[in-house]
């Protein structure tokens, strides 16, 4: 029951946080230069004061800022994120069309970065001065300092143009027909390059992190105790050490999720991936306030949900946190 209580508490915090995000974003965007009415008028070919006034009246831009804010909050609370200026469609349905593609990309990248990174880190921890360990350090440094869009472009040149084993962009082959299985394979094929691009930076970071944690854990007393018990090396490594070394990895994974989400914008643009990233790019370019606000809101919700999941997975790994003391038998200190 402690877990349910915790989730409820976290959800309440999350709602407050999202509310704050909505207000701040709204105010920030209106502080930024650029006038959506001008942009929209430009789309129609000419600007006269009458047209501008008409556009402002249509979209409620003629009201004072605080009235606009209250109206917006009222709408959001009822699940209405407004109408996109540019696409002339409800913001929510625009986002929901794009969200699955982005989640697929981001989660694939994040999960493979964590899994592969941790594995590399564990292997490297066995030989802290070996070539693998050195290689990971160098790769981490390169990954850190490489702009994600540049890496994406290089990969496209290498593996979609010079040696075309992967498609050059998009999420599916246009007009592709086939069973569900073949379609899934087709999407997977398109997913490889963008997911790798997005995962690359984090892969090296996770392997550095897990290697450092493994080294620290392997030097601890309970590992010496496990050796003194006569346990084999693999059991010590994968049961006793890895689980302890994973705790900080989970922390970082939760913290970095929002960064991966942000990185997706660039990757989606480079790979023409039909996700939220492209939509974000468009909405900024077009001064499409309702759409941009909607995207920021949904991203905030996703990040909050991921943080709650991170919190819960902590509890799964480490009995010392929260739930453990509630179900505990209470043997003194």
SS3 15: helix
Nearer to another protein, 98 or 240 (CB): 240
Counting contacts by CB under 8 A, is residue 328 touching another protein? yes
Q: Show the binding pattern over residues 142-171: x = contacts another protein (CB under 8 A), - = does not.
A: ------------------------------
Shortest Å, Cβ 170 to another protein: 44
For helices 91-126 and 131-145, give the axis angle rounded to 10 degrees. Answer: 150
Nearer to another protein, 122 or 296 (CB): 122
For the chain, what percentages of helix, strand and coil (3-state, to nearest 5) are there? 75, 0, 20
SS3 83: strand
d(CA 236, CA 315): 22
Among 99, 103, 215, 317, binds another protein (CB under 8 A): 317
Among 5, 30, 127, 320, binds another protein (CB under 8 A): 320
Shortest Å, Cβ 328 to another protein: 5
Residues between 224 and 243 that touch another protein (CB under 8 A): 224-232, 235, 240, 243
Counting contacts by CB under 8 A, is residue 64 touching another protein? no
Q: Show the binding pattern over residues 9-48: x = contacts another protein (CB under 8 A), - = does not.
A: ----------------------------------------
Nearer to another protein, 102 or 244 (CB): 244
Counting contacts by CB under 8 A, is residue 3 touching another protein? no
Shortest Å, Cβ 240 to another protein: 5
Q: In the structure encoding, which two tokens stand for residue 266, read together?
A: 């660039």
Q: Show the binding pattern over residues 189-228: x = contacts another protein (CB under 8 A), - = does not.
A: -------------------------------xxx-xxxxx
d(CA 290, CA 75): 11
Nearest alpha-carbon partner for 236 in 254, 224, 248, 251 = 224
Q: 145 near 134, Cβ under 8 Å? A: no
The Cα angle at residue 250 between residues 257 and 115, in degrees rounded to 5:
85
Shortest Å, Cβ 132 to another protein: 18
Dihedral sign from CA coordinates of 3, 9, 12, 16: negative
Q: 255 near 311, Cβ under 8 Å? A: no
Residue located via tokens 């913290």? 255
d(CA 248, CA 244): 8
Total residues at interface with another protein (CB under 8 A): 28
Q: 38 near 52, Cβ under 8 Å? A: yes
* Residues at the contact surface with another protein, assessed by CB under 8 A: 220-222, 224-232, 235, 240, 243-244, 317-320, 324-325, 328-333
């Amino acid at each position: 029951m402690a877990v349910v209580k915790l989730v409820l508490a976290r959800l309440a915090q999350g709602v407050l946080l999202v509310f704050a995000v909505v207000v701040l974003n709204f105010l920030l965007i209106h502080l930024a230069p650029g006038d959506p009415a001008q942009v929209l008028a430009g789309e129609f070919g000419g600007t006269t004061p009458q047209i501008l006034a008409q556009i402002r009246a249509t979209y409620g831009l003629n009201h004072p800022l605080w009235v606009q804010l209250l109206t917006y909050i009222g709408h959001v609370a009822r699940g209405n994120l407004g109408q996109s200026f540019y696409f002339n469609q409800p913001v929510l349905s625009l986002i929901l069309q794009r969200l699955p593609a982005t989640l697929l990309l981001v989660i694939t990248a994040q999960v493979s970065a964590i899994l592969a990174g941790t594995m590399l880190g564990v292997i490297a921890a066995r030989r802290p001065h070996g070539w693998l360990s050195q290689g990971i350090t160098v790769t981490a440094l390169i990954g850190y300092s490489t702009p994600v869009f540049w890496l994406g472009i290089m990969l496209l040149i290498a593996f979609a143009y010079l040696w075309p084993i992967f498609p050059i962009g998009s999420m599916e082959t246009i007009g592709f027909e086939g069973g569900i299985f073949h379609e899934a394979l087709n999407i997977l094929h398109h997913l490889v390059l963008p997911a790798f691009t997005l995962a690359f930076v984090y892969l090296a970071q996770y392997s550095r992190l897990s290697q450092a944690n493994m080294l620290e854990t392997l030097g601890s007393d309970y590992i010496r105790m496990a050796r003194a018990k006569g346990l084999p090396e693999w059991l010590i490594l994968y049961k006793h050490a890895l689980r302890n070394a994973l705790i900080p990895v989970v922390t970082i994974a939760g913290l970095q999720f929002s960064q991966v989400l942000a990185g997706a914008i660039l990757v989606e643009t480079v790979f023409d991936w039909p996700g939220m990233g492209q939509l974000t790019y468009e909405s900024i370019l077009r001064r499409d306030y309702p759409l941009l606000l909607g995207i920021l809101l949904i991203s905030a919700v996703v990040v909050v949900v991921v943080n709650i999941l991170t919190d819960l997975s902590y509890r799964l790994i480490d009995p010392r946190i929260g739930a453990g003391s509630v179900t505990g038998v209470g043997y003194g200190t």
